[in-house]
């Protein structure tokens, strides 16, 4: 299948364009019915693969009734809850382990201790600490503010410790030198407390865009679609877990509020994002 499939709106706009007089478009027009039929068939094929009980088919979700479906702080707290194996959801380390496994396969993660971190997470002796909105007091902060990393995670193995930081951006942009400041603080912390291990810095956004101010390429860009796909697979494999009903509603919130993705009704459908959710495309 082709990697990029257009929405219904795009197909409609393109059909209108084809009706505009043009020699080039006239040449294309003879092929258009065949192209249009092929794309629509491909669209139906993708949709037919989605199970009847998939969260994307839900018409309700966790956060929309609270008018908070795109609230960064609420999503930060929800993800920190899922990433902590000590919380009551019953998924243990699966959310953190599978999310990191997907992230550490990316080209931007080259040079990080991927296999060591995943191995450590598989050991019952490893301690995992998850802190949302962790505050850092910096002696050289010009404005005397107290910066906060959205999600701070420590994986404390028997012989080594690793730090994972998730910076969560849904609608807001990163502030000037914000990511550099967080990265430098985390690197310094690792020098003092984690045997100088290299931190895993994750920049989480709806579309997986790269940070605007990351000249040294320290941050790994990850899309919410890929994260939601990881959570979907965890839900599919753990439907009897205590937190399964909650996770299903939260996945629906991510789909509706963050990704704008629904297959109900006649709304435009971004099939590239849908494929990331279904696991067909890379993070």
Task: Please state, as a whole number, how many other Cβ atoms lie within 10 Å of the Cβ of residue 234.
Answer: 22
Task: Classify each residue of 177-196 as buried b or exposed e, where b means 16 or more C-beta atoms within 10 Å of its C-beta.
Answer: eebbbbbebbbebbeeebee
Q: Which residues contact 181 (CB under 8 A, 6 or more apart)?
A: 138, 147
Q: Which pLDDT score is estimated for 240? A: 97
Q: Which pLDDT score is estimated for 99? A: 97
Q: Which residues contact 189 (CB under 8 A, 6 or more apart)?
A: 163
Distances from the Cα of 65 to the Cαs of 62, 75, 245, 257, in angstroms?
7, 15, 17, 11
Structural domain boundaries of the chain? 1-48, 64-237
Q: Which pLDDT score is estimated for 75? A: 97
DSSP letters for 106-152: SGGGTTS-HHHHHHHHTSTT-EEEEEEEEE---TT-TT----EEEEE
Q: Which pLDDT score is estimated for 153? A: 97
Mean pLDDT check: name the lowest of 56-70, 127-141, 214-228. 127-141
Instruction: Please give the structure tokens belonging to residue 6.
Output: 């257009």
* Average pLDDT over every residue of 6-25: 68
Phi and psi (nearest 5°) for 69? -70, -15
More confident: 98 or 26: 98
Helix (H, G, I), strand (E, B) or coil at 52: coil
DSSP type of residue 42 = H
* Average pLDDT over every residue of 155-173: 94
Q: Which pLDDT score is estimated for 241? A: 97
Question: Which of the listed ranges 8-12, 134-138, 155-159, 269-273 does the model predict with the highest average pLDDT?
Answer: 155-159
Mean pLDDT check: name the lowest of 90-99, 142-151, 213-222, 230-239. 142-151
Contact status, residue 53 vs residue 46, Cβ threshold 8 Å: no
More confident: 156 or 30: 156
Closest CA to 46 of 270, 271, 247, 210: 271
Mean pLDDT check: name the lowest of 41-45, 66-70, 72-76. 41-45
Instruction: To the nearest 10°, report the CA torsion of 73, 78, 80, 81.
Output: 140
pTM of the model: 0.84
> CA-CA distance, 225 to 222, in Å (whole number)?
9
Q: Can you state the angle between helices 271-278 and 224-237, rounded to 10 degrees?
A: 40
pLDDT tens-digit readout, 170-201:
988 887 788 998 999 999 999 999 999 999 99
pLDDT category of residue 223 using cuts at 50, 70 and 90: very high
Q: Which pLDDT score is estimated for 20? A: 66
Does residue 3 surpass a pLDDT of 50?
no
pLDDT category of residue 1 using cuts at 50, 70 and 90: very low
- State the chain's mean pLDDT as an integer: 88
More confident: 62 or 139: 62
């Amino acid at each position: 299948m082709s990697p990029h499939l257009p929405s219904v709106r795009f197909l409609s706009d393109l059909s209108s364009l084809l009706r505009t007089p043009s020699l080039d478009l006239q040449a294309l027009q003879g092929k258009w019915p065949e192209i249009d039929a092929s794309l629509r068939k491909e669209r139906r094929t993708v949709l037919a693969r989605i199970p009847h009980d998939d969260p994307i088919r839900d018409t309700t979700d966790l956060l929309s009734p609270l008018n908070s479906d795109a609230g960064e702080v609420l999503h930060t707290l929800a993800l920190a809850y899922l990433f902590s194996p000590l919380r009551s959801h019953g998924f243990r380390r699966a959310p953190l382990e599978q999310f990191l496994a997907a992230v550490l396969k990316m080209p931007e993660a080259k040079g990080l201790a991927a296999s060591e971190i995943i191995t450590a997470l598989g050991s019952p002796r490893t301690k995992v600490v998850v802190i949302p909105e962790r505050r850092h007091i910096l002696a050289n902060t010009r404005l005397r503010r107290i910066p906060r990393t959205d999600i701070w995670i420590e994986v404390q193995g028997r012989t080594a410790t690793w730090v994972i930081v998730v910076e969560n951006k849904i609608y807001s942009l990163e502030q000037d030198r914000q990511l550099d400041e967080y990265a430098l603080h985390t690197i310094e912390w690792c020098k003092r407390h984690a045997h100088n291990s290299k931190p895993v810095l994750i920049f989480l956004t709806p579309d997986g865009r790269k940070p605007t101010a990351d000249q040294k390429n320290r941050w790994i860009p990850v899309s919410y679609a890929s994260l939601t796909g990881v959570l979907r697979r965890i839900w599919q494999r753990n439907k009897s877990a205590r937190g399964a009903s909650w996770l299903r509603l939260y996945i629906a919130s991510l789909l509706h509020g963050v990704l704008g993705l629904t297959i109900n009704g006649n709304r435009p459908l971004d099939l590239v994002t849908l494929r990331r959710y279904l696991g067909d495309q890379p993070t």
